[in-house]
A and B are shown apart, each in its own frame.
Chain A
Amino acid sequence: GAGVSQSPSNKVTEKGKDVELRCDPISGHTALYWYRQRLGQGLEFLIYFQGNSAPDKSGLPSDRFSAERTGESVSTLTIQRTQQEDSAVYLCASSLRNGNTEAFFGQGTRLTVV
């Protein structure tokens, strides 16, 4: 596709349920990021995939959060046993090579935990 695609665009879930967020990066981009943005706040780093290297998971806030990426394509961010504090916009970005090239962001998934 032309840009980074995220789905769903909006997700409302009940507290305690698991959710899965999807990111389709730009074709050929080897680097992929997930960020969390709470209302009116900055971009909180979650996880970074770079090619075949082990992902940088240093930003995942708890073991309820996990992410996978198949090769250099789709990534899924899974949040287990969702809590109200997980409510935020989850942004995915991809870049051609690494952290030193332009990152292109998707529109985000707005997650609301009720």
Chain B
Amino acid sequence: QQQVKQSPQSLIVQKGGISIINCAYENTAFDYFPWYQQFPGKGPALLIAIRPDVSEKKEGRFTISFNKSAKQFSLHIMDSQPGDSATYFCAASRATGKLIFGQGTTLQVKP
């Protein structure tokens, strides 16, 4: 019940395309859902986060879609750029608990 399942494991997208990464969770007590971006040799950094009182949050080219009833959330990267090539992790937590991460998705955006 503590797991966060992420898919796909890897993704190749052409420049200008849309990248979509999906996550699913089981613990309905989770109330914070961030996405982290990690470049090689660096620690992960927060990209965008959502709380379950909204179904969508957009920041620039990055959008989180949240489906509370299905216990799923996804990251959409619009107009994907080669500089977006990185590993993306979804995560979930509740106020008194730890951040639990998905397994990660390696995104490659081809020029």
Write the residues of chain A forming the contact surface with B, with a CB cutoff of 8 angstroms: 4, 33, 35, 41-43, 45, 48, 50, 56, 91, 93, 98-100, 102-108
Contacts and interface: CB of A to CB of B under 8 A. Distances in A.
Interface of B: 31-32, 34, 41-46, 49, 89, 93-104
Contacts, number: 60
B49 A45 contact: no
Which of A50, A91, A98 has most B Cβ within 10 Å? A98
Contacts of A42: 89, 101-104
A93 B99 CA distance: 10
Question: Chain B contact residues: over half helix, strand or loop, or mixed?
Answer: loop
Contact of B31 (A100, A102, A107): A100
A23 to B, nearest CB: 11
A99 B99 contact: yes
A100 B103 contact: no
Given A98-B97, A100-B31, A103-B99, 19 more contacts: A33-B98, A33-B99, A42-B89, A42-B101, A42-B102, A42-B103, A43-B89, A48-B97, A91-B44, A93-B99, A98-B95, A102-B49, A103-B34, A104-B45, A105-B43, A106-B43, A107-B41, A107-B43, A108-B43
B104 A99 contact: no
